[in-house]
Amino acid sequence: MEKSFNKIMHGYQQFRKKYAQGDQSIMEYLSDYGQQPQVMVIACCDSRVDPALILQCDPGDLFVVRNVANIVPPFEQDDMHHGTSAALEFGIRFLKVKHLVLLGHSQCGGIQTLLEGKHSIKNDFISNWVSIVDEQADNKMNADDYAKLAVKKSYENCLTFPWIEEKLQQNELAIHQWYFDIKTGRIFAYSENKNEYVEL
Ligand SMILES: [Zn+2]
């Protein structure tokens, strides 16, 4: 436990040196001029799937939401607390990002919970949350296939947001369906023409 805490303390020092010191401080620049990310990513909380690390980005590059199983919920106008929808609204309507990446991944614990259904460990929030992407799947589908199906469902949910639909119509936004394979570190992107995932 000490070892991993020491690691983050060391990491913090390196971050300060690289991004927040001297005349060329990226953080100072971003503070003075504000953030203008062009890319928004919806990623899973999974510790192995950090978009900024996988895509080797700097501060200011990515506007990121991470939630269990990288889910976009449908557009719902009620008094509930829609954290992911609020982030989408901020990124797309106010920061005006040009690209929205839905980043699914292999070995997803959230998807696993969904597939285990009633047999899964009792929880307060996870099962209800992942039920958003509960889809009819054929029996041969494994959790990784299902993760791709869930990305498709999230994509369809994106289209229920009127301001996302509008941006797509006006060619001001592109939505990318991606799948990250943890073991090989490869990303595959869904190709509409081929109706399959192809490596980036
Ligand atoms: Zn996951």
Tell me, in angstroms, the distance from the centre of ligand 1 to residue 47's CA: 9
Tell me, in angstroms, the distance from the centre of ligand 1 to residue 48's CA: 9
> What letter does residue 170 receive in the DSSP assignment?
T
181, 153 contact by CB (below 8 A):
no
Tell me, in angstroms, the distance from the centre of ligand 1 to residue 88's CA: 19
Predicted pLDDT at 87: 98
- On whether the pTM is more than 0.85, the answer is yes
Question: Which pair of structure tokens corresponds to residue 147?
Answer: 């993760």
Predicted pLDDT at 122: 84
- Domains within the chain, CATH numbers bracketed: 1-33 (no CATH), 35-199 (3.40.1050.10)
At a CB cut-off of 8 Å and minimum separation 6, what does 198 contact?
A: 188, 189, 191
Tell me, in angstroms, the distance from the centre of ligand 1 to residue 21's CA: 35
**Per-10-residue mean pLDDT for the chain, 200 residues long?**
89 96 93 98 98 98 98 96 97 98 97 81 89 81 93 98 98 98 98 96
**What residue type is assigned to position 155 of the chain?**
Y
Pairing of strands 196-199, 186-191: antiparallel
